[in-house]
Amino acid sequence: GVVYNYDDEGIHRAEAGWEQCIGIPLVQLDMFGLLQQWDQLLEEFSVGEAWLPHRYDEHDHNCYTYALAFINSVRTAQGKQQMSKSEFTEKFVIPETKKASRYMTLHQELTANDFYIVPLPHQEKQC
């Protein structure tokens, strides 16, 4: 997909270069209507004056602020309460970061001890 991000040069849309990032699932599968609108909502949100390059501040108005502000705009439209930075971090970022850390630790241990990972052959689905 396309990754939207914000820095001192403004909003960027990138299809590559984010292969090492951690994806944080925010929309449940039962929210299909929102999934269909997500890209349009993100595009509309991103053209706002708040995200012009000169407004960027490394500590107070950055990519994290951009992501959380978008999430909160969607939550507000759904009639939900906005989340603070600390609440979002605790509920969404930390759990995914812990999973990634466990995976990376396991991968490092396996490769350091002369193990290697081989994908299983594709198995046919049984009815």
pLDDT, mean of residues 17-39: 79
**Which has the higher per-residue pLDDT, 28 or 7?**
7
- Cβ 83 vs Cβ 71: under 8 Å: yes
- Above pLDDT 70, what percent of the chain? 92
Lowest-confidence pick of 10-14, 27-31, 38-42: 27-31
Give residue 123's pLDDT. 63
Whose CA is closest to 4, among 72, 63, 52, 48?
Answer: 63
Distance CA 103, CA 108 (A): 9
